[in-house]
Every structure is written in C-alpha cells, then in structure tokens.
Amino acid sequence: MIDRDAIVAAAEGEVRFDEPLRAHTTFRIGGPVDALAWPTGVGGVQRLCALAHARGWPCRALGHGSNLLVRDGGVRGLLVATTRLRRLERDRERGVRCEAGVPTSRLLHEATSWELGGVEFLVGVPGTVGGGLVMNAGTSLGELKDVTVEVTTVRPDGELRVRAAAACGFRYRGSDLGDGIVVAARFELRPGVRAAIVARIAAQREARARREPHGVPTAGSFFKNPPGDFAGRLLEQAGLKGRRLGGAEVSWVHANWIVNRADATAADVLGLMQVCQEAVATKFGVTLEPEVHIVGEAGREEAA
C-alpha cells in the first residue's frame, strides 16, 4: 500500500489518489492510478522518486498524455506529472533551456520569436518536451535528437543525472531516457529570419491539417513506420480505413491513426491494433510495431 501522507509531503504540490487516467490522456482512455502528483519544481520530482525507490513502489512520469494508451485496469504505484515544470529561457545566442513540462508548441513559438529555427518539425506534434525527448519526437523534417545538446533526468533514487545527447540513446521514436524522469534539456538551434521560419511553419501546419484527423480523441500516429515504407500506406492498402472495434476506429482521414470514436476502452484499441497487425502481416509480410506507449494493467474485458 502506498503512503498517502508521505506522497503529499514529498510532492509539495497537488496530489490525487485513485485518479482515472482517461482524464489525463489525449486518447481519453485509461483506468485509475494509485497516486498522481504534480510537483512544481525539480526538487519535488527528486523527493517523489526517492520516496518511491525507498518504499519499492513503481514510479514513472506522466506528461501531456499524448502517445499513450493506459490499460483499463489502471496503473499501480506513483505517476509523477511533469506538466508544471514550465521554465523556458534563452541560453546565449543559439541555445534554449527548458523544463520537461514545456509544451512542444510553446518551444516552437518562443524559438520563432527569438528568430531561432530548427524545430519547425514540431508543428502539430502534441505533448511536452519531456515526453518528446523520451520518444525522440519528430516528423520526416527532423527529430528532437537533431537539436538536443544535453538532457537532465532524475534517477529512480532521486539523484540528478545530466548526459550529453550522444549518451541518450536516441533512435527512431525512442531513446534510453526511460531509465529515469526527464526534467530539463538544453537545445542548440540555428539563427534564421523570422518571416522564413513562419512561412515554413505555416506550410507544415497546412500539410498536417490535410492529412490528420481533428476533433476526436487519439494518441497520434499509432504504429512506427517500417524501414523504407509508411505504416499508413500499408494499413490503407490492407483496407483498414474505417475498421472499427467497439468504440475504437481506424481513422478515415489517415489509416495510421486509431481514434476514440465512442467511449472506447483500451481493450477496444488493443483488439483493433491486433486486427491491423494481422492484416498487414498477411498482405505484406510486415510486422507493425506500436509507436504509442502502452502501460498499465489489463481490465476485466481485456483479461477475458
């Protein structure tokens, strides 16, 4: 059993217990977590990690809740929300320092205001800097690894660790940063003319608006692109657009987006994921891997 009083004391911020995670994910899906804390500073993250480590509780980060599917049985232990770590500042001529809870959209906006380019690929990419670093967020135009200088994480025992980008294990939609909780990073961008940066942003925003679903709960691109191909193309060619299971549906707009069409459960999404994987494997001999992080315990429906 978790010690509620100890968590509240360590967080020095808001804490909720048995909190349904559907309210904290862009998929609007997920069972309850034992404890969800919102520390307002890096020190709070350190204290919470140290407490969980000493007591043997599972502990992990929660950012904006995009690129995440929480199973219906919920999450045991402690989730540390980093969304209130919001410091963002310029670091000399080309550098930017920011904390993990800064939205990627704000990083893009502030960089543009400082006439710094190099993060235009973040247009339309949801979530926070911390989550983006863990998954090496990006598009065909670039990835966060391309501009990262160093990343600060809190280790499971509460100690800070600062590592250079080369030591972060960045790879396509992944990294080695999941061994702790990302709390801050330093980026190096490139000076540019604001009008040119704004034009690139506008073009990217228009392109994404045409090819992605809007106004419906989703975690974003569901599968990683296999080498030399696109998951969306394979799924569309396999006839999966519009395929539905319970409240989950393969988007008619883009086949690599699974959307929550009508109070979907995680079991619905996972069942539809399996349908998609089997169809693509049968038609093309390709195994699609989820890009979305899947966490938590199975609910009754999934277990059955």
- Which residues are catalytic, by number? 173, 221, 291
CB 115 within 8 A of CB 94: no
Nearest to 127 by CA among 268, 244, 263, 291: 291
CB 84 within 8 A of CB 279: no
Q: Residue 38: CB partners within 8 Å, gap ≥ 6?
A: 11, 13, 14, 15, 81, 83, 84
The residue assigned the tokens 């670039």 is 142
> Which residues are 154's β-sheet partners?
160, 181
Measured CA to CA, the distance from residue 54 to residue 260 in angstroms comes to: 38
CB 25 within 8 A of CB 52: no
